[in-house]
Amino acid sequence: MSMSQDLPPVAPSVTAELVAALTPRLRKRLDAGIAKLAARPAVRDGDTVRIAVDDSTDLELHAPDGTVTSGAAIRCGCLLAPDCLHRAAAASAAPIAEPVAEGATSGASEADDSARREANSETRRDSSLAFASDAQRTAAQGLFQATAAALDAGTDGAGAVVQAELLRAAHTARLAGLPRAAASAVSVVTAVRAARSADPAYRLTDLVSALTDVLTVAHRVPYATGPELTELRGTVRQPYTPDGSLRLYGVFSEPVLSATGYAGAVSWTADAEGRLYTVSDVAPGGSGRAVGAADRAVRIGDTALTHRELSRAGLAVSGATVSPTGRLGAGATVRAVRASGAGWGEEPLDRLWAEPVADQVSRALDGGHGLLFLDVTLAGTVRESAGDVLLADCAGLTLRLAAAHDHPALPHRDNLRLLAAAPGTRLRVVARLVPAPQSRALLLACAHPTDPGGHLDLGLDRLRRADLPAAATPSTAAAALCSSDEAPLHLLRRRVHQAASGGRRVLAFPGSAASDDRRLSDRGLATAADLLDDLHAAAADRARDPFGRLLPADTDRFARAWLAAARYTEEIDRALCAAAWRAGRRLPVPAARTD
């Protein structure tokens, strides 16, 4: 376990404040200071976490509510305190705290409260015109520049100082009334930290998604109006509305282990009409919390059901409150008791699998929950760069079913290998759609191969060889899939991912850009070829002053070129995904530029 999991979460504004207070000399030593501090033991004593910097100096983080919300809560006993390196290093090493809900800002500074009230007042004045306020435009511009600097550096070069600047911009954006952009920026910082620490939970696709979202919002906010602006602003907390009494049936549970430093479990349930509801227990933590959350009682009413039990039982809820995404609230007025469950082949759960696959995919691509309920026949495996994936036939479609998580503490990958050893087996599965040129999804749960009435939560339960059928027949789907002819969109996607990981410099050197451009153009992807050419040109563009010295790179130009490529790839992936699933969506004609 890394030291960051032993430290309490620290508010982004606190980290930004402490790093900004450092002298230029200490800023250069900050990354080394974080690495040195990470090697020291952290001991928790009530609300205080104490780190022994050396034999005579202690560093303390005080978190009375579980979160460090002010710089004064981080105290150091060294001679240079409070302007020492240790305080900033501890804040930079700790997990990033979630935003405080509106009206619960006891730990915020008076200046922050004043700025928030002013921003909210200005937003309300402009709401009739639905234009971004001056504060939001300024915050969006600052956030774009800070994110562009992080993209320019890549994960290897985005050290604690770059991260702190992005956290400062995120804090300013939140005060200005842009919680969506602020949350995405925090996700970028957390993903960068995970990449730099070789965290097994890190995924490059998560970093790319967060970078794309924060740059998109920061770029569009100054120009957006009406419903688009409302969506770009986002909300700090999802509202919960009363929903009366509910009779729910457990469907499955999945562990949560995110690159943003949160872990736990989510149980999915359905009512008699097939509407889905979730019960969540997610908090700061690592793989241990993700594994253990399944056996903790769900946080709703007085029920003693664990998440593992709820996935196979039922729940009767009175006074229910529900968020727009279907998450059940756990307020004081909510009552819940255990009830009988239903098998996947019984009503009302059976209707989840009765919906046509194309309709399920269309709903997921249009912003739905993303779950797919499929009847499949296993067909073996195919090797990919990220590992083996399970092949399956679904009503004539050949699917790629990948592990939902690669962390070794979770059984996803082991269960996938065992299922691959039983080709010809027919199963009901629950998977999460992955927008990709092929029919692809993450496998979350499956019916028990030999017990018709049971199912397995593949992130929590371990499949055994004895659970597999004694004999199975091989399928020809693997050969058909491996011979499929795909558009070479990966040539552009690879450069987008390389830039997010290695920064602008990895695209600044001459390479295979010309051949990639030609391959894209030859396959009818002329816009992709233009975007790839612009991305390389923006990366290599370095002007010189009259004395021949290189001027600083234009990070904003590179960020715009990267964003155009990322958005294009994202939209084409969605369209190709719909075509692969026969979902009937038309290919869009995306703009080649975002400016």
414 and 461 in one domain? yes
pLDDT band at 110 (very low <50, low <70, confident <90, very high): very low
367 and 301 in one domain? no
* Token pair for 170: 């995120």
Pairing of strands 440-447, 397-403: parallel
Contact 464, 118 (CB under 8 A): no
- Residue 586, in any domain of the structure: no
**529 Ramachandran zone, left/alpha/beta (phi>0; psi -120 to 50):** alpha
pLDDT of residue 117: 44
Please report the beta strands in 229-342, taking only residues with DSSP state E, as ranges in sequence order: 241-257, 262-270, 276-284, 314-322, 335-339
Q: Which of 438, 453, 482 is the last residue of a domain?
A: 482
Mean pLDDT (whole number) for 25-40: 91
Q: Which residues pair with 388 in a beta bridge?
A: 383
Contact 516, 491 (CB under 8 A): yes
Contact 218, 196 (CB under 8 A): no
CATH code where residue 250 lies:
2.40.50
- Residue 348, in any domain of the structure: no
pLDDT of residue 592: 38
161 and 275 in one domain? no
392 and 439 in one domain? yes
288 and 321 in one domain? yes
119 and 208 in one domain? yes
- Residue 518, in any domain of the structure: yes
Query: Does pLDDT of 583 surpass 70?
Result: yes
322 and 279 in one domain? yes
- Residue 417, in any domain of the structure: yes
Instruction: Give the model confidence (pLDDT) of 194-237 as tens digits.
Output: 899 887 778 898 899 999 999 999 999 999 998 899 999 988 77
- Residue 591, in any domain of the structure: no
Measured distance CA(188)–CA(184) in Å, rounded: 6
Q: Which of 217, 233, 249 is the last residue of a domain?
A: 233
Instruction: Give the model confidence (pLDDT) of 496-521 as tens digits.
Output: 999 999 999 999 876 657 788 888 88
- Residue 344, in any domain of the structure: no
Query: Does pLDDT of 122 surpass 60?
Result: no
Domain total for the chain? 5
225 and 172 in one domain? yes
205 and 117 in one domain? yes
Q: Which residues pair with 254 in a beta bridge?
A: 266
Query: Does pLDDT of 1 surpass 70?
Result: no
* Domain, as residue range, for 510: 490-580
Average pLDDT over the chain, rounded to whole? 85
pLDDT of residue 259: 63
Query: Does pLDDT of 69 surpass 70?
Result: yes
Q: State which H helix or E strand residue 578 sits in.
A: helix 555-580
Cβ-in-10-Å burial (0-12, 13-18, 19+) of 24 comes to: exposed
The amino acid that residue 486 corresponds to is E
pLDDT of residue 481: 46
Residue 144 — φ and ψ, nearest 5°? -60, -45
pLDDT of residue 50: 92
pLDDT band at 153 (very low <50, low <70, confident <90, very high): very high
